[in-house]
Structure 1
């Protein structure tokens, strides 16, 4: 009998979340090739089974290898897992598309909205590659990379219009510590992932200003309310936004010091400028890039989003920190629902 080869996944690229998903996939029995932009990262993974740029203290499974050549990473890949900033997705895909084999299922980990078009990552993937929506899945949930690398319990939602494709991804990343659920609500999963970053900026600001748990709970709850309003307008299922890809991700991102968006907001709340907070945070903060795009999307659909509005105004220096805080608290009273 011919032995059936294991599922092969190409993970582009080898940042913190890309490395964490590579570990999950490998622990689930999937063969993984990571694409690293820097040669020293690829060498560290191949020679020492560690990512020296992000997790030098944690050993990766031997079935994870790395390359600086995206074509080599994509060779015979059953799954293409994309873990890059949403704003650079289109440009990268233009170079990678010729190497994506027919039948490859693409898995998006991106949690942002393209600034110029207000498109979600799955929509960008279809435009840039011609791959139909039925072969594009979205993985989203409360997934802090450092905790996952340590093998701590986590769960996520895998959304795809094709349930069989979602199940393929589910099987490829189901481990003793990582529990994936499936869904067909791609819009809800992507919107929850993008919006939670903006709300986390506000939660971080509140923390940086020394405000307490009441303020954090208020921002999380009202943030979920405006996420759900926009989700309804875009055709998302409200239940998705009360699940792992919505509320779950929102809570983790707004409360954990491991969250880069919350950390960015904390820097702002402590008095740093946007430029200074960017330098201090060092990693990509999708909420900063996506706030205005989400607001434009909301205006297009006639949806009121006060937290997103204030965050966009603050990030573009239209209001001061004190004015931003006052704007949220001085809104006219009205029924909650």
Structure 2
């Protein structure tokens, strides 16, 4: 388990409860030592006692020695250098699963493509779904998707596929995995949902309520579907745990850093002052740029993601940006009905600040 933040520690706990021997790599030696001494990650999951079977270390060589599978739980912005760092220590051909979400900013590559470029010869997949780390670590009933592309051999013997084997390792107690062969669809859902969650947070912080959030979630799922399909994924994947499920969770609680950031911005808090000035990594903030750039490359309209990107990175005023989002031309919801009508009152502003 490469990454000892809250989610990496939670997944390590799931595996250890299921009898797997887990090495949990932390970037900082002091964090690894603290976890080893206290059987608790007091920095990221305070109050959660970790099960036996987890060995914390700050050495990549020690973490990867004899490993049968690797889960990468590092921020998307540091994934490529992380792959380069582990390359000399990685056992041949073992599967690598991403437990981080996003699109690489400059290249527009899905994270699995980044790993495949840097670590050729390894099956690459992802673990994704509606999973808050603390609830997972406490063994609350939780479901997620394990996705790997299926080779011809995997289809002949699906029980021996990397996806099925990792799902079996994760399965137990409250954690219930599902298996998918649509890695693209799963990754797109994970990347886009963080951006949509910021949009929901912005509107919630600005004083709007459930109608607004439901609209953003529903239309956000549509943006996911269009991008997934354009990249070769399946629309149906986006209606599953890694798409609609993860989006619903992330847009429903300020436990999500993405929702929380949006909520603070919607309240008028300046970005440097959010999270009480702490340097908190918010994946949707990074992916607002990379997702919209990727959408432009494949000619997919993603107006909600565009709006978030404009507010976060282009100096747009939140009230004006969301007013323009709501005043776009009227469209048909089934795309088979080819219809676009100019909005009758595009200059009528949304009533921000209403109770």
- Normalised by the length of structure 1, the TM-score is 0.94
Pick one of 106, 121, 134 that aligns with 1:146: 134
Answer whether contact 1:125 1:131 (CA < 8 A) is retained: no
Pick one of 3, 6, 12 that aligns with 1:16: 6
Q: 1:39 Cα deviation (Å)?
A: 2.2
Aligned position for 2:166: 169
Residue 92 in 1 paired to residue 82 in 2?
A: yes
Larger displacement relative to structure 2 (320-329 or 217-226): 320-329
How many Å separate the matches in 2 of 1:127 and 1:320? 39
* Structure 1 residues 267 and 297: CA distance shift in structure 2, 3 A: same
- Normalised by the length of structure 2, the TM-score is 0.89
How many Å separate the matches in 1 of 2:95 and 2:238? 24
* Structure 1 residues 280 and 240: CA distance shift in structure 2, 3 A: farther
Pick one of 278, 282, 286 that aligns with 1:289: 286
Pick one of 305, 310, 314 that aligns with 2:307: 310
How many Å separate the matches in 2 of 1:140 and 1:287? 15
Answer whether contact 2:202 2:264 (CA < 8 A) is retained: yes
How many Å separate the matches in 2 of 1:306 and 1:281? 30
Q: Deviations over 1:244-274 (max 9, x none)?
A: 0100000000102211100011111011223
Larger radius of gyration: 2
How many Å separate the matches in 1 of 2:262 and 2:46? 27
Aligned position for 2:188: 191
Aligned position for 2:225: 228
Answer whether contact 1:70 1:96 (CA < 8 A) is retained: yes
Answer whether contact 2:2 2:70 (CA < 8 A) is retained: yes
Pick one of 244, 247, 250 that aligns with 1:247: 244
How many Å separate the matches in 2 of 1:42 and 1:130? 29
Q: 1:27 Cα deviation (Å)?
A: 1.1
Residue 109 in 1 paired to residue 106 in 2?
A: no
Residue 36 in 1 paired to residue 23 in 2?
A: no
Answer whether contact 1:32 1:65 (CA < 8 A) is retained: yes
CA RMSD between the two structures: 1.3
Structure 1, unaligned stretches of length 5 or more?
A: 1-10
Larger displacement relative to structure 2 (216-225 or 314-323): 314-323
Answer whether contact 1:142 1:244 (CA < 8 A) is retained: yes
Answer whether contact 1:298 1:305 (CA < 8 A) is retained: yes
Aligned position for 1:57: 47
Structure 2, unaligned stretches of length 5 or more?
A: 155-160, 335-355
Aligned position for 1:155: 143
Answer whether contact 1:263 1:281 (CA < 8 A) is retained: no
SS at match of 2:251: helix
